[in-house]
Structures are given as C-alpha cells and as structure tokens.
C-alpha cells in the first residue's frame, strides 16, 4: 500500500502570486522533510498543447489532464502542489471529486494589482508573457479576469489575500492548513 499523500491547488487570477507562493510552500514542506511535487499548469500546457489557443474545449482537456495527473501522483504517494489559474469552478470541482486528500486554496488579489504584478514579472515559469497587456490591446483572447470569467471559489479551504500578506505569510497560512487537515503530515513533522 502506498503512503498517504495530499494535493493543494492554488487557484487565482494570473499575477495573483500563485507561483511564488507555491515555491515558498514547497520550500517550507521540504524543510520539514516532506517531499512534494510542484505541478504547474503552464508547464503541462506546453507539452499537452504546444501551441495553445486557450479555447473552452482546450481548457477543459488540459484541466482534466491536470487533475487526472495529480490524482495518479497522490494515489501513488506523491504530495502535489497544483499551480494553476483554474478560472472555472467546474475544473476545480472535478479535482475535488477525483483527488484524495485535496485542498483548494484561493489566492485572492484585486485585478488591478494582478495586472501590475504580471507586467513586472521577469521569470514567467513558462507562463505566457504580458498576457494582460496583450489582452488589453486585443492581441490575446480569453484571459481570465478580462475576456474570460474567473469564478471565485465558493468554499475554498483557505483564502490567502496576497495583497495583504507577503509570500512567506501566505505560504505559512497554507502550510498550517496542510498540517491541521492531514494527520499523516502532523505525524511526519512531530
């Protein structure tokens, strides 16, 4: 039997801080000798759809693959941090349904701040560059928060207000929830 594992999905607008918070969370977990895989939607998208069009059908396909991949990892004892916008609730609902030991983390950020952060971002970690700027100039379509709706989670396990908390505080809040929720993690840490 495989050891128990968990998945946490950090969802929020592009530029909300998901990637930097994910990195910090991974660092905190690994400092406690908890191995974790950071699965980024942008990396996966580049392999599954090398020339993405960001259509509704394509998004559905890629989010199904994202959730299914996470499910397989968790079922095989791999802890996963999921870094993805997941702009529609149905994507996250599927993940919650199929992934054992799943937490949904909403990285809440005002759109204006997310746009400002995204413009300043130097390392996009394979994410599309300058997506808000391109969307505002009609050079990109279906950008969550602008042309595509971002459906905020109705009942996330944790809300992190990234405009009020810094990266370390945000990761600490999520780390605390992981400890509180999963006994197998508490046992490993203590």
Over the stretch 35-86, which tens digit does the pLDDT of each residue have?
999 999 988 988 888 888 888 899 899 999 999 999 999 999 999 999 999 9
Say whether 37 sits in a helix, a strand or coil: strand
User: Over the stretch 14-28, which tens digit does the pLDDT of each residue have?
Assistant: 889 999 999 999 999
- Amino acid 140: pLDDT: 46
- Say if CB 73 and CB 37 are below 8 A apart: yes
Q: What is the DSSP letter of 144?
A: B
**Burial degree of 82 (CB within 10 A; 0-12, 13-18, 19+):** buried
**Segments making up each domain of the chain, as ranges:** 7-189
Residue 141 above 70 pLDDT?
no
Q: Which two tokens stand for residue 107?
A: 């990285």
Q: Is the pLDDT confidence value at 136 over 60?
A: no
Residue 18 near residue 40, CB atoms below 8 Å: no
Look up the pTM and report it: 0.89
Rounded average pLDDT over 159-164 = 98
Q: Is the pLDDT of residue 172 over 90?
A: yes
Backbone angles phi, psi at 91, to 5 degrees: -65, -45
Cβ contact 125:42 at 8 Å: yes
Torsion sign, CA atoms 113, 91, 181, 32? negative
pLDDT-derived band at 95, boundaries 50, 70, 90: very high
CATH homologous superfamily for the domain 7-189: P-loop containing nucleotide triphosphate hydrolases (3.40.50.300)
């Amino acid at each position: 039997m495989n050891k128990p594992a968990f998945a946490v999905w950090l969802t929020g607008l592009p530029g909300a801080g998901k990637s930097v918070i994910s990195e910090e969370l991974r660092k905190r977990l690994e400092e406690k000798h908890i191995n974790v895989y950071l699965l980024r939607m942008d990396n996966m998208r580049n392999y599954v759809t090398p020339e993405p069009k960001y259509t509704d059908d394509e998004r559905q396909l890629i989010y199904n693959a994202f959730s299914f991949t996470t499910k397989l990892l968790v079922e095989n004892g791999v802890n996963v941090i999921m870094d993805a916008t997941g702009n529609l609730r149905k994507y996250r609902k599927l993940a919650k349904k199929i992934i054992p030991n799943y937490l949904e983390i909403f990285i809440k950020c005002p759109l204006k701040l997310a746009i400002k952060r995204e413009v300043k971002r130097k390392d996009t970690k394979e994410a599309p560059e300058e997506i808000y700027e391109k969307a505002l100039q009609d050079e990109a379509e279906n950008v969550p928060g602008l042309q595509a709706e971002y459906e905020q989670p109705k009942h996330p396990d944790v809300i992190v207000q990234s405009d009020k908390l810094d990266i370390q505080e945000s990761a600490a809040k999520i780390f605390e929830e992981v400890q509180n929720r999963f006994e197998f993690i508490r046992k490993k840490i203590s």
